[in-house]
């Protein structure tokens, strides 16, 4: 006669896996990027503009003159992003530390994310160098655009 007790551990394991899948424990806490700031950042208000300290608060001057790379211009044209929207993200966006590299050479790169006034969810990569900040690229996080920028 077969023992019914040998199936109990398998049933418990299955139940635990089902609960983990239902709760999505492995993903960690979910957040709405429009509501709260990502970890490792602090936001203060100065003249109604968010300043995100990120990894190196002195490196990213949110009011420096902007210089657009050819690649950034191409991506902006393709994705219908204006210079005003890029400035919005620079002034109000949150630093995505996973997509930023403050140790990049020759200049650090910071990926800022946010929503434009037109509702586009954008990531813009900035590279502050000396007295100007270069716009490296621009990404629409909600829509894939067919771009061919070389």
Percentage of residues in the chain having pLDDT higher than 90 = 40
Residue 2 lies in a domain: no
Q: Which domain holds residue 79?
A: 29-140
Residue 7 lies in a domain: no
Average pLDDT over residues 32-52: 36
Distances (CA, A) of 2 to 5, 9, 12: 9, 15, 19
What is the β-pairing status of strands 49-52 and 43-46? antiparallel
Nearest alpha-carbon partner for 92 in 100, 84, 82: 84
Residue 43 lies in a domain: yes
Residue 147 lies in a domain: no
Residue 22 lies in a domain: no
The answer, as to whether pTM is greater than 0.75, is no
Average pLDDT over residues 21-40: 48
Residue 119 lies in a domain: yes
- DSSP code of residue 94: E
H or E, element range at 118:
none
Residues 115, 29, 117: CA angle, nearest 5 degrees: 5
Number of domains in the chain: 1
Work out the pLDDT band at 54, boundaries 50, 70, 90.
very low
Residue 117 lies in a domain: yes
């Amino acid at each position: 006669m077969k023992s019914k007790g040998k199936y109990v551990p398998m049933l418990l394991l299955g139940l635990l896996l089902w609960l983990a899948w239902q709760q999505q424990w492995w993903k960690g806490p979910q957040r709405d990027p429009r509501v709260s700031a990502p970890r490792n950042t602090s936001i203060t208000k100065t003249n109604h503009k968010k300043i995100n300290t990120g990894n190196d608060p002195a490196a990213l001057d949110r009011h420096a003159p902007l210089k657009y790379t050819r690649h950034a211009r191409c991506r902006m044209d393709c994705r219908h992003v204006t210079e005003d929207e890029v400035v919005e993200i620079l002034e109000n966006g949150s630093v995505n530390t996973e997509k930023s590299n403050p140790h990049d050479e020759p200049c650090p790169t910071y990926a800022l994310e946010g929503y434009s006034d037109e509702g586009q969810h954008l990531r813009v990569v900035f590279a502050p160098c000396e007295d100007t900040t270069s716009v490296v690229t621009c990404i629409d996080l909600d829509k894939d655009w067919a771009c061919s920028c070389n």
